[in-house]
Structure 1
Amino acid sequence: MPLTPATPPAHAGHEHAVSRLRATRLAASSKPFVARGANAQRCPRCRLATHLCICALRPQVPTHAGVCLLMGDIETLKPSNTGWLIADVVPDTWAFQWSRTEVEPDLLALLADPQWAPCVVFPPEYAKPGRAVAEVLPPAAATGDATGKRPLFILLDGTWSEARKMFRKSPYLDLFPVLGLHPETASRYRLRRSAQDHHFCTAEVAALCLAQAGDVRAADALDAWFDVFSAHYLSMRRQQPVPLDSPVHQRLYGVLAG
């Protein structure tokens, strides 16, 4: 099979929740955000240098579950942010700027929507007794329960200190269970420094959540998309060519072909 699709998919240039939030955040900024490697001419959709653009490879997979991103102050402005990758792949993704003092009405409306069963994804040791859960309910189609709600994973997208603040200072989240994840491997995220291997990036966490909810193909697609994005991002940083027949690319091609 060819190493890249002949033409980009129809949704390659489609704006999503995180890109719209980024535009809003930029419009409100009093000064420009300067990212590392700012001299690079970047694609506005995938945020990579234009010669490393991966928009033609973007997968988008229908899911039973949805994702709600609460994002730290400048997360949307960082080209290395991986919440963006979730919105690339998962159609039912929402993104909101987190604030300690204000809550967007659209966020509260989403959390109150009866079709969704929200849960906060966070280490359970930070939750009050009785809130922690080990798993989410499987899709209704798998259980035969036509009235079953769809999981809505609430992900706190920011630095670890930001995420802890979001968890502690968002009383509207106290109504929902806290889902703890226990991955068997270390994080593969190498775009920012982390002192702990068990601190997974947002896209990795979302892929684990999707798999647990029964959206296995979407989980695989997001995981593969994350690896390809990371490979191209590091290639841009190191100014080295990226081989389009690498194992991470071949895995993504397999997802696209499936």
Structure 2
Amino acid sequence: MKIFLLTHERELLRPSNTGALAKNVAPEIVEQIIWARNTPNPSLLDAINHKNTVLLYPVDDADDSPIESFENIILLDATWQEARKMFNKSPYLKCLARAQIKPRQVSQYQLRRNQPEGGLCTAECVVEILISKNHIDIADRLDTAFRLFNSKLQ
């Protein structure tokens, strides 16, 4: 299993970025790729062409396939507004199956405004993916690291 964090370049500069936290806690599973509109990363394209890849993206027309049935998961790591732009400007993402997760709890991450109801930050999404894929120990480590990270920022 691989989780690809497709990260907007501005996200790298934000101290509130939780994608970096997920990458640091689970480097064997989480790979961070900087989004490039015109020159997509070759390993990301390989995963897309593998046909066992899903885009975790909150849309009304998400596929009914459960996320745990996919080997590779792509997650947009950006603000909600940037993520929408990334999706809209990346034709290579539009061919992917899209899935959503059903969060077990309300997001604990309250640092960013304009967060949609039911929306989770990147680290919380990765925790949910790890749990759904039965990587409970790694999910617990990331959840603990996220709670500490979140408490320091508030």
TM-score above 0.5, yes or no: yes
Among 150, 157, 164, the residue aligned to 2:84: 164
Report the secondary structure of 2:31's partner residue.
Answer: strand
Shift of residue 133, structure 1, vs aligned partner? 2.8
Q: Which residue identity does 1:88 align to in structure 2?
A: N
Q: Using the alignment, how far apart are the partners of 1:119 and 1:160 within structure 2?
A: 19
Q: Within 5 Å, which residues of 2 pair with 1:78-227?
A: 78-90=14-26, 91-112=28-49, 114=50, 117-125=52-60, 127=61, 132-137=63-68, 151-227=71-147
Ranges in structure 1 where 5+ consecutive residues have no aligned partner: 1-64, 139-149, 235-258
Question: 1:88 aligns to what SS in structure 2?
Answer: helix
Q: 1:174 to 1:193 in 2, by over 3 A?
A: closer
| Contact 2:23 2:30 (C-alpha < 8 Å) held by counterparts | yes
Provide the TM-score with structure 1 as the length reference: 0.53
Matched, 1:69 2:8: no
User: Which protein is richer in strand relative to its size?
Assistant: 2
Please list the CA deviations of residues 159-192 of structure 1 after superposition, one character each: whole Å capped at 9, or x if unmatched: 1111112222222223322111122421100333
CA contact (8 A) 2:47 2:72 kept: no
Give, as a single letter, the amino acid of the residue that structure 2 aligns with 1:117: N
Following the alignment from structure 1 to structure 2, what is the Cα–Cα distance between the partners of residues 222 and 195? 21
Give distance in 2, aligned partners of 1:79 and 1:94: 19
Q: Higher relative contact order at CA 8 Å, sep ≥6: structure 1 or structure 2?
A: 2
Q: For residues 193 and 137 of structure 1, what CA distance do their matches in structure 2 show?
A: 30
**Contact kept? 2:22, 2:126, Cα under 8 Å:** yes
Aligned residue pairs total: 153
Structure 2 residues not aligned, in runs of 5+: none
Partner AA of 2:17 in structure 1? N
The CA distance in 2 between the partners of 1:204 and 1:78, in whole Å, is: 17
**Percent of aligned positions with the same letter in both sequences?**
33
One-letter code aligned to 2:112: R
Secondary structure at the aligned position of 1:96 is classed as strand
3-state SS of the aligned residue for 2:71? strand
Taking the aligned partners of 1:204 and 1:196, their CA distance within structure 2 comes to: 14
Distance in 2 of aligned mates of 1:162 and 1:229: 23
Q: Does residue 232 of structure 1 match 2:152?
A: yes
CA RMSD of aligned residues (A): 2.2
One-letter amino acid matched to 2:21: L
